Structure 1
């Protein structure tokens, strides 16, 4: 423990002992956890002493933050969460979000909302792992049935056939999609959509789309409250000898 922290602890203990010796009652305020950086580590210490009975545990509040800003994002990743949109609360461990004094240790986050009757309604909980300063924390609140995502295939064509000895050895399959997102909530929402493909795939869309990794594309859509939005795109899958490599490539709409 750093020298200044040891001096602070010793001074407080001396004060308590002197007060007891003088017969004065000691006012015991809630203890605060001391948070100090030590090289690449962060140390949490509790001043004074604590008595914990065998087999028991004791909790001390480490963080007291009010009005923490967070974003609500819905995500569609069929390969990870299933077909339904999943709602996330996302906040950053920094001063702008009324946090950032220290890394957030492993723990369980429970989310409640006011129910309008001077009480709270439970929304969900999630275990979180160590969150460094300035890092983001994603709290998964599960499927949101008020947001509906439906895939809509409107056309499939096969073209660019390759032949060898009068046999088809390669071809392209071109699919046209117009996926639909319906927002039945009372507020506008942001939806992060990721689509994953195996094989050699060309992907085209008029909406802004990026490559997340070699087999996944991503787009972010804003859907007004009570409205429906579509996401049109075209997928070309190369088969047989037409396939050159396993990756997703963004191409112009054509």
Structure 2
């Protein structure tokens, strides 16, 4: 018998995307099979070498923040038709290959992406650079009190030494997440405030320099 006070009902629909294989495939009984869904070659990419710090560096005193730090290697590309892509990409692992001097494809790294629609930028972390390193040290740290026991600011000084062992110049990005309301008092090279809590330096390092 119908209830005199039925529960409210809502119709729910889920967004989805259907991926279709380019060619038919067969699967035998109890067989596990890997099938290539899509492939792209000669995709124009931009490479980035990035040293990224931690925000807790600015909350206390440290003797050393790292010897022989290695730059993280990223590549960026656009998921557009004029870049050889322009297709919805499923969530999963993207593997990147580069041809060597003999024309053979060599595996250079992989990263995981989420479901990515067309015309979006994709950024993959492929690992760490072998011959671009850095050392980082905190030179000074002090708290500056404003007359109240719980109202203070911290001033800290850091030295970052970048080294390029390549036989050609390279460009790296040094990114520092800085918490709170901050101000750069002095610096050897000008920074860019790319977000409220992130300062970035783009540095060109000479060959073997």
If the length of structure 1 is used for normalisation, what is the TM-score?
Answer: 0.57
Give the superposition deviation at 1:181: 1.9
* Contact residue 184 and residue 225 of structure 1 kept, 8 A: no
Q: Which of the residues 192, 197, 212 maps onto 2:195?
A: 212
**Residue 129 of structure 2 corresponds to residue 129 of structure 1:** no
The whole-number CA distance in structure 2 between the counterparts of 1:126 and 1:169 is 44
Q: Is the 8 A contact 1:90 1:139 kept in 2?
A: yes
Bigger radius of gyration among the two:
1
Q: 1:104 maps to what in 2? A: 89
1:137-156 alignment to 2 at 5 Å? 137-156=122-141
Structure 2, gaps ≥5 residues long: 1-14, 56-65
| RMSD between aligned residues | 3.3
**Residues 95-135 of structure 1: CA deviation (Å, up to 9, x unaligned):** 232111x2111232222333435544432222322221111
Question: How many residues align structurally?
Answer: 181
Query: Which residue number corresponds to residue 27 of structure 1?
Result: none
CA-CA distance at 1:201 after TM superposition: 3.4
Partner-residue secondary structure (3-state), 1:96: helix
**Aligned partners of 1:72 and 1:190 also within 8 Å:** no
Which SS does the other structure have where 1:116 is aligned?
A: coil
Question: Which consecutive aligned stretches of 4+ in structure 1 deviate over 6 angstroms post-superposition?
Answer: none
CA deviations on 1:157-193 (whole Å, 9 max, x unpaired) are 665x4447xxx66554433334222222344434232
Matches within 5 A, 1:42-81: 42-46=17-21, 50-79=25-54
* Greater share of helix: 1
Aligned in 2, Cα 1:174/1:218: closer, same or farther, shift over 3 Å?
A: closer
Q: Which has the higher contact order (CA 8 A, sep 6+)?
A: 2
- Find 1:114's aligned residue among 77, 91, 99: 99
Three-state SS of the structure 1 residue aligned to 2:155 is strand
User: Structure 1 regions of 5+ residues with no counterpart?
Assistant: 1-39, 229-254
Q: Distance in 2 between matches of 1:170 and 1:186?
A: 50
